């Protein structure tokens, strides 16, 4: 059974709440506990989870703000293309987010956090040339990596075309278009596609889109960070969809 490390209070708290049966061991740094650490310890002990108090040096290999808490948990099974198609079929007016080779775990974590906030059906990432869900992603996502469905596909364009066959409209986000996101209707089954840091959408991915929209920019900066762009666009979609009672 594969294990993975998660760290940070938000990520560990959410994982224990969502899947306590998948926690192998909770590690907390020795010393005086703050209220959240103590509450986490109490919860873990109440659930009869293995708990270990460890020295500060045990966290030396953790790359990020661990907040004195980490846990070894069962690696969650990735959803795949058949799961994606099933979600599209079973969900009324689904909203998917496709990430075209996003590399930075901080960006993926931030996008998952926004996806959780607006009720995204699933976030879809390619198996190769893309950051996966690691400990840094889980930390930045503040628990959203445990609540948002994440689908890993072999071929992003093929998955987009499969969704189109099921009536999902594919909307790409790019700067090279005169149509802004505020001029587009985000109601109905939608797949929003965002490109990688720096390079944006790949040519084949863009060609697979039914529409391409841009975020209007008035300053000297040419583009936004992909996680910021995702937040802006998803909240416009959320605003529009909230106005329709069937969304």
Is 139 within the bounds of a domain? yes
Final residue of a domain: which of 74, 90, 116?
A: 74
Residues 64 and 46 in one domain: yes
Under 8 Å between Cβ of 169 and 191: yes
The stretches of the chain forming alpha helices (DSSP H) are 9-18, 35-46, 81-90, 105-118, 135-141, 156-165, 203-207, 226-242
Sign of the four-CA dihedral 16, 132, 29, 51: positive
Final residue of a domain: which of 13, 44, 74?
A: 74
Residues 168 and 203 in one domain: yes
Rounded Cα gap, residues 198 and 194, in angstroms: 11
Residue ranges making up the domain that contains 190: 81-242
CATH number of the domain at 132, please: 3.40.1280.10
Phi, psi values for residue 103, rounded to 5°? -105, -30
Name the β-bridge partners of 98: 124, 193
CATH number of the domain at 46, please: 3.30.1330.30
Final residue of a domain: which of 36, 57, 74?
A: 74
**Structural domains in the chain (count):** 2
Residues 143 and 52 in one domain: no
Helix/strand/coil for 172: strand
Rounded Cα gap, residues 101 and 106, in angstroms: 14
Is 129 within the bounds of a domain? yes
Q: Tell me, what's the pLDDT at 183?
A: 94
Q: Of all residues in the chain, what percent are helix, strand and coil, respectively (each to 5)?
A: 40, 25, 40
Residues 63 and 85 in one domain: no
Residues 226 and 168 in one domain: yes
Nearest to 22 by CA among 46, 37, 4, 36: 4
Helix/strand/coil for 29: strand
Residues 62 and 142 in one domain: no
Q: Tell me, what's the pLDDT at 206?
A: 93
CA distance between the termini of the chain: 39
Residues 176 and 109 in one domain: yes
Rounded Cα gap, residues 141 and 147, in angstroms: 10
Determine how β-strand 3-7 pairs with β-strand 69-74: antiparallel
Rounded Cα gap, residues 163 and 191, in angstroms: 8
Residues 70 and 92 in one domain: no
Q: Tell me, what's the pLDDT at 121?
A: 97
Is 70 within the bounds of a domain? yes
Residues 176 and 61 in one domain: no
Q: Tell me, what's the pLDDT at 77?
A: 78
Pull the structure tokens for residue 26.
């909770």
Is 23 within the bounds of a domain? yes
By the 10 Å C-beta count (0-12 exposed, 13-18 middle, 19+ buried), 143 is classed as buried
Residues 58 and 177 in one domain: no
What is residue 194's DSSP assignment?
E
Q: Tell me, what's the pLDDT at 246?
A: 59
Nearest to 124 by CA among 141, 112, 107, 116: 112
Residues 115 and 195 in one domain: yes
Name the β-bridge partners of 171: 192, 211
Quote the pTM value. 0.81
Is 126 within the bounds of a domain? yes
Is 247 within the bounds of a domain? no
Residues 27 and 44 in one domain: yes
pLDDT tens-digit profile of 37-75? Answer: 999 999 999 999 999 999 888 888 877 788 899 999 887
Helix/strand/coil for 15: helix
Q: Tell me, what's the pLDDT at 218?
A: 82
Q: Tell me, what's the pLDDT at 241?
A: 93
Q: Tell me, what's the pLDDT at 1?
A: 67
Rounded Cα gap, residues 179 and 181, in angstroms: 7
Is 227 within the bounds of a domain? yes
The list of the chain residues with pLDDT below 70 reads: 1, 245-247
Pull the structure tokens for residue 189.
């089954």
């Amino acid at each position: 059974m594969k294990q993975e490390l998660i760290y940070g209070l938000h990520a560990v708290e959410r994982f224990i709440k969502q899947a306590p049966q998948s926690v192998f061991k909770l590690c907390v740094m020795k010393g005086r506990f703050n209220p959240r650490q103590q509450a986490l310890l109490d919860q873990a002990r109440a659930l009869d989870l293995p708990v270990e108090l460890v020295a500060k040096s045990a966290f030396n290999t953790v790359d990020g703000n661990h907040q004195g808490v980490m846990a070894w948990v069962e690696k969650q099974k990735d959803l795949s293309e058949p799961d994606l198609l099933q979600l599209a079929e079973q969900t009324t007016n689904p909203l998917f987010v496709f990430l075209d080779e996003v590399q930075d775990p901080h960006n993926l974590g931030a996008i998952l956090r926004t996806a959780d906030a607006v009720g995204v059906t699933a976030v879809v990432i390619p198996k190769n040339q893309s950051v996966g869900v690691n400990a840094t992603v889980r930390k930045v996502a503040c628990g959203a990596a445990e609540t948002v469905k994440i689908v890993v596909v072999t071929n992003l364009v093929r998955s987009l075309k499969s969704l189109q066959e099921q009536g999902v409209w594919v909307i790409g986000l790019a700067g090279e278009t005169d149509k802004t996101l505020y001029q587009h209707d985000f109601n109905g089954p939608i797949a929003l596609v965002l490109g990688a840091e720096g390079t944006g959408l790949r040519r084949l991915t863009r060609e697979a889109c039914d529409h391409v929209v841009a975020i209007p920019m008035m300053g000297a900066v040419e583009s936004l960070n992909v996680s910021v762009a995702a937040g802006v666009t998803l909240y416009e979609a959320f605003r529009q969809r909230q106005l329709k009672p069937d969304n």
